[in-house]
Amino acid sequence: MKISKLLVKRVKKILNYAYAPYSKIQVGAGLICEGGKIYTGINIENSSYSLTVCAERVALFKALSEGERKFLLLLIYSPQIEFILPCGACLQVLSEFAPELIIATMNKNEEFRFYPLKSLIKKPFRF
């Protein structure tokens, strides 16, 4: 799978807005929708850790709030963690809205690894 230079550029640029005073780990995410639009997100920490929001969910919620419902790929990047992956909460939320999503993770050398969401969360919670 090929990742566009535009997506990489936008995900790296959005890191400037990450708010990570506690973990010191900045995370940027870029979600590509079926129509080609890209929604970005950054992690936003809180001193009450459970209120922190991950970059992946920020990007997804921005897209959902604009009426998007069909998602193709989510690129995640952190300069502090080699090939960062989504946390369990993000996997659960993503599985509800985009069960066929491809997760791409990138390192500092702009090398990529790809994972179908279904391979990262085998049995998401469902009613």
CATH code, 27: 3.40.140.10
| pTM exceeds 0.85 | yes
Separation of alpha carbons 37 and 66, rounded Å: 11
- Residue 52 belongs to domain spanning: 5-66+84-120
pLDDT of residue 47: 96
With vertex at residue 4, the alpha carbon angle to CA 25 and CA 114, rounded to the nearest 5 degrees, is: 60
Integer-rounded Cα Rg, in Å, for the chain is: 14
The answer as to whether 53 is a domain residue is yes
Query: Per the domain annotation, does 73 fall within a domain?
Result: no
Active-site residues: which are they?
Answer: 56
Q: pLDDT tens digits, residue range 6-58?
A: 999 999 999 999 999 999 999 999 999 999 999 999 999 999 999 999 999 99
Q: Is residue 105 domain-resident?
A: yes
Total domains present in the chain: 1
